[in-house]
Amino acid sequence: MRHAGTQEIETPRLLLRRLLPSDAPMMYANWASDPEVTRWLRWTPHKDVAETRELLAAWALLYPNEDYYQWAIVEKASGQVFGSISIYNSLAGEPQQKAEWPGRDISEGIWEPGYCIGRGWWNKGYTTEALDALVEYWFKNTDSNWLACCHAAENPASGRVMTKAGFVYDHDAEYHKFDGSPVPCRCYAVTREHYLERKESF
């Protein structure tokens, strides 16, 4: 599979770029320390800004890898880093997913966007704008034919973001937090064909 790595992406309101250790204070303040933001995510709120900085330093070492995709979401108008969005191979962490995507080519893994934004930026269309840009980036810069996307069943707002970005519901499943806790979820997919059809309709 051809990969492209984490390159800068610009949308009308957002700049998507690599996260830096220097982003730690804004990441901690704007979303990583908020239990409401992390409620349905695999990880728990950060205890302090040092924990955030340590994580960002570890991520910085992965950026040279062409199959590593992790962006900061920056509001261009204010310069605030208010969220993150990534694409990761979920098959690596949840091998049971292999049986949950019948008819899909998973020989190169199950690539899935994940996103998280601060509460102050909810309900303004920012996540959809970022996810739309990532779908376009993926199909323009890789030769993958599809993307998966899943959300906690109790967080339907995330599902609305996915459908607005062109994803179509596929099946119910279960993912696990880093502590092993199971989370019922709903899984969606978008294919290269559907992406191209959708693009032509706009």
**Would you state the pLDDT for residue 146?**
97
User: Please, which contacts does 58-64 make with residues 24 or more away whose CB atoms are closer than 8 Å?
Assistant: 59/19, 60/18, 60/19, 60/20, 60/21, 63/5, 63/6, 63/18, 64/5
Cα separation, 148 vs 92, whole angstroms: 14
Q: Output the domain CATH number for residue 51.
A: 3.40.630.30
pTM: 0.94
The answer as to whether 15 is a domain residue is: yes
**Would you state the pLDDT for residue 86?**
97
The answer as to whether 1 is a domain residue is: no
Joined tokens for residue 22: 């220097």
Tally of CB atoms within 10 A around 161: 22
The answer to whether the beta carbons of residues 64 and 145 sit under 8 Å apart is no
Residue 131's domain comprises 9-201
The answer as to whether 2 is a domain residue is: no
Give me the residue label for tokens 């190169």.
Answer: 108
The answer as to whether 78 is a domain residue is: yes
Cα separation, 83 vs 86, whole angstroms: 10
The answer as to whether 3 is a domain residue is: no
The answer as to whether 179 is a domain residue is: yes
Are β-strands 146-152 and 182-191 bridged in parallel, bridged antiparallel, or unpaired? antiparallel
Joined tokens for residue 68: 């590593």
Tell me the H-state helices in 39-89. Answer: 49-60
Joined tokens for residue 115: 């996103």
Q: How do the pLDDT tens digits run along the chain, 202 residues long? A: 999 999 999 999 999 999 999 999 999 999 999 999 888 787 889 999 999 999 999 999 999 999 999 999 999 999 999 999 999 998 877 777 777 888 899 999 999 999 999 999 999 999 999 999 999 999 999 999 999 999 999 899 999 999 999 999 999 998 887 888 888 999 999 999 999 998 887 6
Joined tokens for residue 164: 């607005």
The answer as to whether 4 is a domain residue is: no
The answer as to whether 89 is a domain residue is: yes
The answer to whether the beta carbons of residues 82 and 117 sit under 8 Å apart is yes
**Count of domains in the chain?**
1
